[in-house]
Structure 1
């Protein structure tokens, strides 16, 4: 007993030791048939309680990680949507820039052609003018005489005038077209500069959002990995707790079987020590404990004061309401009744030192 601990009398141990040792060994073998079950019920219950606490902690952690992963997944989806928009804007800006650059190249090529054409027209007009003034002017009489009539004369003068006007118009038209091409080139050059700036801005924005999206995806993946790790730990913890519960159930069943088997043993023969008389069962507590404590003998007080079939200490006996100064002086029925009270359905097993020795715990 916890509060019944006492030194054993030498005489009692000398007489009962062989029988008690064999009985204890037999009880231990029956209670613990395998090495895997060699754990106390209290130790298994502590292990189960710790596992349940760990399960609650891991379940809470998994729930928090799942919530964080859900938030991160929403952020990734929003970032990906924004990235798709910016990529579309970047593609459109690049397309506009490509069209502008194509228009600019075409305008420059057209301008080159116009300049060449203007140069050629000017050369032709100069040549015509030089040819016109290279000869002496015919006098009026010669012109009149060479004409077929006045109408022919007027026609010739109008023709020369129209030729000169046409050449002048051609040169002027080419010059205007050149000036317009120059204006178009400048306008397209400015437009290209603006579009290049816009394309760079959109590309920078796209790169920033891509980087942000990649970071969010990494965070979501890290949260998912942490969640999976906690889930695996939770699964392992739950499996360990269930194994411990099965071990506890087997151990308790074995203890109950052992207790039932040894609760009503055959009547013991008279034991030695202090002249106490022996008595048979039934017993108020499992027989292996009784056998270890007293061997089923109603011992008188030992050097520590413990006595009776159940080895009550005097103060414990009195606290339980014993009718005699010492337990051994009372009938076995009274000792059984008070031992059952102290046993309390197994909750008081720790009051006997031998309970732990034979593997029976509360």
Structure 2
């Protein structure tokens, strides 16, 4: 029993220790530097996608205008199609009338041919009777004719036959002439029918081909536009996701900066009588004004290497780069005219385009550029012109 109690006393503290949460003990400054790189990368990706979105919107506007033009042409073609349809309807009506006339003429020709057949049979019977009557003069006229049609045209034949026979002959002639004229009209009507059918077919095909081409072009443009819109939506969604991550990282960075400010060796924020705070608590070593024959455009505050530098006021980082004699140089725009600049930093603490609040750490004191020792060169500029910072601190 005693052994069990002893083992329990040893094991219980170990179990309680194992159950405690693990606390991160990472270096906040290193974490801030890593986070800064990720923020820079995220900003670049956001800008890239914003550029792509602008390009896609321009393409979409271009395709929309093109589709509108195609719709206009299709509308014009519809009007032309309606006019052609009216013309086609007239041609179809004319074709229908022509076909009706053809049927009537064909029926009339059948009747005429039947009538011609009957009158010829009647005339043939009379010729047989005349022959039996033995009129040699009339027989000679008949024998000297090249055919039945020529016989009907010979005056000698007409003069020798009776009035009744002349009526038969005249009826045969008229029936023959009517039949010939009817055949000519039939031929003309059939040719006209072919012409009308070809005209109708040609115009219909022209309209259909043109309309099909325009509609195909419009469909292609619409599909391309839809593809661009889908791409725009995808890029926009990616950009929004990146922006959300960026905002989260910036919030995290602000928390880390707050921790760094709280633990910074630079001490508490130093305030003067002006609207700006001192960027460091360093020793004042050089004033604004002429120095060594030229303008010293700011004040110098000596501090230990790596001392945090704070933003003198809230604003947006408009410059963050190594800049000649200034070394690592950061400028913050506070208003449309007022800006502050920080030179000779050992390293940066912010990114281009980042919004900062008064007192945020924006960098660290260093000795980069034309510098003879670790210090901060601090400038105040109004519309880009250097002013004495002491008038604002």
If the length of structure 1 is used for normalisation, what is the TM-score?
A: 0.57
Q: Distance in 2 between matches of 1:341 and 1:133?
A: 143
Structure 1 residues 43 and 283, CA gap change in structure 2 (3 angstroms): farther
Alignment correspondent of 1:100? 98
1:40 partner SS:
helix
Distance 2:29 2:225 in 1: 47
**1:340 match:** 310
1:94-118 alpha-carbon deviations (Å, 9 max, x no partner): 4533542453354244324323322
Structure 1: distance between partners of 2:182 and 2:226: 64
Where does residue 353 of structure 1 map in the other structure?
A: 347
In structure 2, how many angstroms separate the alpha carbons of the residues matched to 1:38 and 1:345?
18
Give the match for residue 268 of structure 2: 282
TM-aligned CA distance change 1:250 to 1:67, over 3 Å? same
User: Partners in 1 of 2:185 and 2:362 — Cα distance?
Assistant: 98
CA displacement 1:34-83 (0-9 Å, x = unmatched): xxx89632222222222222222211211111011011012122223323
Return 5+ residue gaps in structure 1 as ranges: 1-21, 137-163, 269-278, 285-307
Q: Does 1:189 align with 2:187?
A: yes
Q: Report the Cα offset of residue 246 of structure 1.
A: 1.5
Instruction: Tell me, in whole angstroms, the C-alpha distance in 2 between the residues paired with 1:87 and 1:79.
Output: 12
1:322 aligns with 2:300: yes
Distance apart, 1:250 and its partner CA: 1.1
For 2:242 and 2:312, the matched residues in 1 are separated by: 29
2:246 aligned with 1:248: yes
Q: How does 1:245-324 map to 2 (within 5 A)?
A: 245-265=243-263, 281-282=267-268, 321-322=299-300
Aligned pairs, number: 265
Matches within 5 A, 1:152-167: 165=163
Query: 2:299 aligns to what SS in structure 1?
Result: coil
**Secondary structure, counterpart of 1:322 in structure 2:** strand
Query: Using the alignment, how far apart are the partners of 2:27 and 2:75 within structure 1?
Result: 69
**C-alpha distance in structure 2 between counterparts of 1:98 and 1:234, whole Å:** 57
Question: 2:51 is matched with which residue?
Answer: 53
Distance in 1 between the 2:72 and 2:26 partners?
A: 66
The answer on 1:70 being equivalent to 2:68 is yes
CA distance in 2, matches of 1:341, 1:113: 116
TM (norm. structure 2) is 0.53
Structure 1, residues 155-175: CA drift from partner, whole Å, max 9, x if none? xxxxxxxxx645643552353
Greater share of strand: 2
Question: What corresponds to 1:206 in structure 2?
Answer: 204
Aligned positions of 1:78-117 closer than 5 A: 78-90=76-88, 92-117=90-115
Q: Determine if contact 2:119/2:171 at 8 Å carries over to the other structure.
A: no
Matches of 1:353 and 1:24 in 2, distance apart?
A: 20
The separation in 1 between residues aligned to 2:50 and 2:56, in whole angstroms, is: 10
User: Which position in structure 1 is the counterpart of 2:178?
Assistant: 180
Distance in 1 separating the partners of 2:181 and 2:131: 37
What is the alpha-carbon distance in structure 2 between the residues aligned to residue 126 and residue 319 of structure 1?
Answer: 139
- Structure richer in helix, relative to its length: 1
Distance in 2 of aligned mates of 1:181 and 1:39: 105
Q: Which residue of 1 aligns with 2:17?
A: none
> Where does structure 2 lack aligned partners over 5 or more consecutive residues?
1-23, 135-161, 271-279, 287-295, 318-329, 331-341, 351-360, 364-393
Would the aligned equivalents of 2:122 and 2:168 in 1 still touch at CA under 8 Å? no
Question: Secondary structure of 1:117's partner?
Answer: helix
Shift in Å, 1:211: 1.4
Residues in 2 aligned to 1:204 and 1:57: alpha-carbon distance in whole angstroms: 45
TM superposition shift of 1:31: 9.2
Aligned with residue 121 of structure 1, among 104, 109, 119:
119
CA–CA distance in structure 2, aligned partners of residues 246 and 116 of structure 1:
100
CA displacement at 1:247 relative to structure 2: 1.6
The CA deviation at 1:178 is: 3.7
Q: Secondary structure at the match of 1:264?
A: helix
Larger radius of gyration: 1
DSSP-derived class of the 1:353 partner: strand
RMSD: 4.6
